[in-house]
Amino acid sequence: MQSIYNLTRNKLQEYILSINEKKYRSEQIFDWLYKKRVRSFNDMSNLNINIIDNLNKDYAIDDIKIVKKEIANDVIKYLFELEDKNKIEAVIMFHNYGNSLCISTQVGCNMGCVFCESGKRKKDRNLTTSEMVLQILKVEQDSNIRISHVVLMGIGEPFDNFDNVMDFINIINDQKGIEIGIRHITISTCGIVPKIKDLINENIQVNLAISLHAPNNKLRNELMPINKIYDIDLLIKTVKEYVDETNRKVTFEYILIDNLNDSIENALELSKLIKGINCYVNLIPYNETSDDKYKRSKNIDKFMNILKQNKINVRLRREFGSNISAACGQLRSTN
């Protein structure tokens, strides 16, 4: 049986009309689900028996299970078990501007970035829209806090699950839904070019982050297999199109790995590559994983200063949860 959390309000309206009810009923149902957070259609007291009976017949109010919860300074990591016993992780990060939740979009990941723990397990399947929505609902319920920001930077490549991700964003941004501001939602992609173009056509003001991590094709091919399909020149060209069409700033994420992509030459090459783009660079100290081949850069300050000297907007990402394997690149689909 399909989860009710898979339905955007428009899709729910279509369903309500199909059972010969008024479409405003969809707003009432959204209110019960996302404002009142009820766990049974029978508790939706302002709905008539026809709607309740049909909802019980056609949809489920499903759930995900918290298997493990780890707490560190300004961060909580959740390990969830899905209905099919697969596992995913999500992380709350407490900022001075609000509470941000990093969610997963797939079980495993096929992108194969060599520095990332999440990709060690090949993709088993996409998460449904409901399984993404439930990460927020479950965290808010368990921690008794409101999530104000969402980043799609957990396990999986969001653009490899594009349609479900778009429905997820629709639901959490909906004023009748979870009501998270659209500019408080960030999608991170390793660079699936056709989906960046599709995002332009969606005409939504989300934040787009590009996992770049190298300033040239030779190095990026070594680190990120996706570059062999959509190389860095095509990626940058498409990002420029995105910026021009949407008038939105993009973020380039760059993990600094010792003696690999952190040299002065790399910094100069990166500066030249992205100069003139409405963007900023988010430098990320490498978080060590089960693969001890890669180490944290010792040249972070030098690299950052070169970017600044070349008039590139740059910041160093605040570190969260590396001591509980909750930091960038450390999430995985196991316990």
Q: Are residues 55 and 69 in the same domain?
A: no
The verdict on residue 334 lying in a domain is no
Confirm if 156 and 123 have CB atoms less than 8 A apart. Answer: yes
Partners of 95 in the beta sheet? Answer: 98
pLDDT at 319: 65
Render each residue's pLDDT in the chain as its tens digit; 335 residues: 899 999 999 999 999 999 999 999 999 999 999 999 999 999 999 999 999 999 999 999 999 999 999 998 889 999 999 999 999 999 999 999 999 999 999 999 999 998 887 767 789 999 999 999 999 999 999 999 999 999 999 999 999 999 999 999 999 999 999 999 999 999 999 999 999 999 999 999 999 999 999 999 999 999 999 999 999 999 999 999 999 999 999 999 999 999 999 999 999 999 999 999 999 999 999 977 666 788 999 999 999 999 999 999 999 977 654 554 444 544 454 55
Domain end point (choices 39, 60, 81): 60
Q: Are residues 105 and 10 in the same domain?
A: no
The widest CA-to-CA distance across the chain, in whole angstroms, is 69
pLDDT at 327: 45
Confirm if 300 and 283 have CB atoms less than 8 A apart. Answer: yes
Q: Among 243, 4, 220, which residue's Cα sits nearest to residue 128?
A: 4
The verdict on residue 314 lying in a domain is yes
pLDDT at 183: 97
Catalytic-labelled residue, pool 27, 81, 89, 179? 89
Residues near 244 by Cβ (< 8 Å), separated by ≥ 6? Answer: none
The C-alpha atoms of residue 233 and residue 221 are separated, in whole angstroms, by 12
Q: Among 189, 188, 265, 258, which residue's Cα sits nearest to residue 227?
A: 189
pTM here is 0.93
Q: Are residues 190 and 55 in the same domain?
A: no
The verdict on residue 115 lying in a domain is yes
pLDDT at 330: 46
The verdict on residue 108 lying in a domain is yes
* Secondary structure class of 148 (helix, strand, coil): coil
pLDDT at 320: 53
Active site residue 89: yes
Which helix H or strand E contains 29, and what residues bound it?
A: helix 24-30
Q: Are residues 141 and 41 in the same domain?
A: no
pLDDT at 318: 74
Q: Are residues 307 and 252 in the same domain?
A: yes
Domain count, the chain: 2
Q: Are residues 149 and 248 in the same domain?
A: yes
Q: Are residues 132 and 175 in the same domain?
A: yes
The size of the chain, in residues, is 335
Confirm if 236 and 269 have CB atoms less than 8 A apart. Answer: no
pLDDT at 30: 98
Q: Are residues 284 and 171 in the same domain?
A: yes
Tokens 């420029």 correspond to: 240
CATH for 29? 1.10.150.530
Confirm if 294 and 285 have CB atoms less than 8 A apart. Answer: no
Q: Residue 46 corresponds to which tokens in the numbers above?
A: 């302002």
Domain end point (choices 42, 60, 78): 60
pLDDT at 79: 96
Active site residue 157: no
Q: Are residues 137 and 79 in the same domain?
A: yes
Segments forming the whole domain that contains residue 191: 65-324
The verdict on residue 330 lying in a domain is no
Q: Are residues 14 and 145 in the same domain?
A: no
Q: Are residues 222 and 115 in the same domain?
A: yes
Q: Which residues of 148-183 are buried (b: 16+ CB within 10 A; e: fewer)?
A: ebbbbbbbbbbbbbbebbbbbbbbbbbebbbebeee
Domain end point (choices 11, 26, 60): 60
The C-alpha atoms of residue 119 and residue 159 are separated, in whole angstroms, by 15
Residue type, 120: K
| Chain segment 184-221, per-residue pLDDT in tens | 999 999 999 999 999 999 999 999 999 999 999 999 99
SS3 per residue for 198-260: HHHHHCCCCEEEEECCCCCHHHHHHHCHHHHCCCHHHHHHHHHHHHHHHCCCEEEEEEEECCC
The verdict on residue 333 lying in a domain is no
pLDDT at 290: 62
| Beta strands 87-95 and 125-126, pairing class | unpaired
pLDDT at 329: 47
The verdict on residue 335 lying in a domain is no
Q: Residue 232 corresponds to which tokens in the numbers above?
A: 């860095």
Q: Among 111, 251, 110, which residue's Cα sits nearest to residue 185?
A: 251
- Cα angle: 201, vertex 207, 209; to 5 degrees: 100
Q: Are residues 41 and 158 in the same domain?
A: no
The verdict on residue 80 lying in a domain is yes
CATH for 240? 3.20.20.70
Roughly how many angstroms between the first and final C-alpha of the chain, as a whole number?
A: 28
Confirm if 252 and 232 have CB atoms less than 8 A apart. Answer: no
Angle between helices 129-143 and 162-173 (to 10 degrees): 40
Catalytic-labelled residue, pool 113, 190, 279, 328? 328
